[in-house]
Structure 1
Amino acid sequence: MTSMNIIELPWHAAFPSPRKQEPGAMTRGEVLKMMKDSGSEAGKDYLLVDLRRTDHQGGTIRGSINLPAQSLFPALPTVYNMVKAAGIRKVIWYCSSSRGRGTRAACWFDDYLEEKGDKNTQSIILLEGVKGWVKGGAEYIDWVDDYDHAHWGSQ
């Protein structure tokens, strides 16, 4: 009997690499300012997308929807149609750090926007992801739903 080495590919290997590799970005300060703006509303003016799946503990930024990155690529047309129907012009993607899933998602969506000829919708990442958001301190933590200090204390 021979032993077989099973190589497990990363989840994103099942999908094409995004053409663009560097998405637009916003800092936590810019996002918080936008959220506090009385004329700006989550789900209407912008959409925050939390891409975490199994690491979705500790809370999520207020107003975010959870769309695990592993299910995003096939759902791009649906996400696009929902964003357009709602008149949303800015989609902000994040994961734990926004260096893997966040960047990939923003670039995939940006590629899709380009295919559609949509120059009015932005696809950007939240720099440093939710970890960076929480590290911003109390002002940011106040905007985390279901915040769990025990989870973030170990970060």
Structure 2
Amino acid sequence: MSHLAPYAESEELKALILDPTKVPRKDYLVIDVRDTDFEGGNIPHAVNVPAGQLLDRVHEIIDEYGQVPCVYFHCALSQVRGPKAARIYKESLHLQGIQTNQQVKVLRGGFEGWHAKYRKEKQLLENYDPSIWQWAIEDSDPENEQSALEDNPYLAGIPPPSQ
């Protein structure tokens, strides 16, 4: 049995966040496993569980959120910490003998991908401090912005932020 979690596109999570009938942490959950890089902004209603604390807190997270239908894990890029955290969570469910229909996913592109797409949409960011993200928004020229996105291998295939 594989405990690898599939990737989810940001549009899927965006739709849940913007759906007024969905309640965060009840209908869906976002677990952000960034550590000190959590500072400066996050996806609305995300629960911050630093990657280094996940093993110690996984049972608490399962107890509190085990009935949430869909859980999205992410880190900065969702290449290492996010996928590993999702795997640990799924393995813990299995090891505890918990049978669930809960979907566990990894947000493709992580917070950096989210920020690149949605930084201009205030309802899709919480605790946002643009000064921390200045390196990512150095030039607000849309042509340069598109070029920067195209040149970033971590964001390959992610459309530019909506205008």
The TM-score range, normalised by the shorter chain, is 0.7 to 0.9
Over residues 30-71 of structure 1, what are the superposed CA-to-partner deviations in whole Å (9 max), with x where a residue is unaligned? 100111122211111111111111111221111111110100
Q: What SS does structure 2 have at the residue aligned with 1:97?
A: coil
5+ long unaligned stretches in structure 1: 1-18
CA distance in 2, matches of 1:75, 1:89: 20
Tell me if 1:145 matches 2:137: no
Q: What amino acid does structure 2 have at the position aligned with 1:33?
A: A
CA distance in 2, matches of 1:148, 1:82: 29
**Which of 108, 116, 132 is equivalent to 1:127?**
108
Which structure carries more strand by proportion? 1
Number of aligned positions between the proteins: 135
The TM-score, its normalising length taken from structure 1, stands at 0.78
Higher relative CO (Cα under 8 Å, sequence separation at least 6) belongs to 1
Amino-acid identity (%): 25
Please report how far the alpha carbon of residue 151 of structure 1 lies from its aligned counterpart in structure 2 after TM superposition: 1.7
Equivalent in the alignment of 1:50: 32
Equivalent in the alignment of 2:90: 110
Q: What SS does structure 1 have at the residue aligned with 2:54?
A: helix
**Which of 57, 63, 71 is equivalent to 2:45?**
63
**Which of 69, 73, 80 is equivalent to 1:100?**
80
Equivalent in the alignment of 2:153: none
Native 8 Å contact 2:5 2:86 kept in 1: yes
Native 8 Å contact 1:21 1:104 kept in 2: no
Q: Greater shift after overlay, 130-139 or 39-48?
A: 130-139
Q: Greater shift after overlay, 89-98 or 108-117?
A: 108-117
Equivalent in the alignment of 2:13: 31
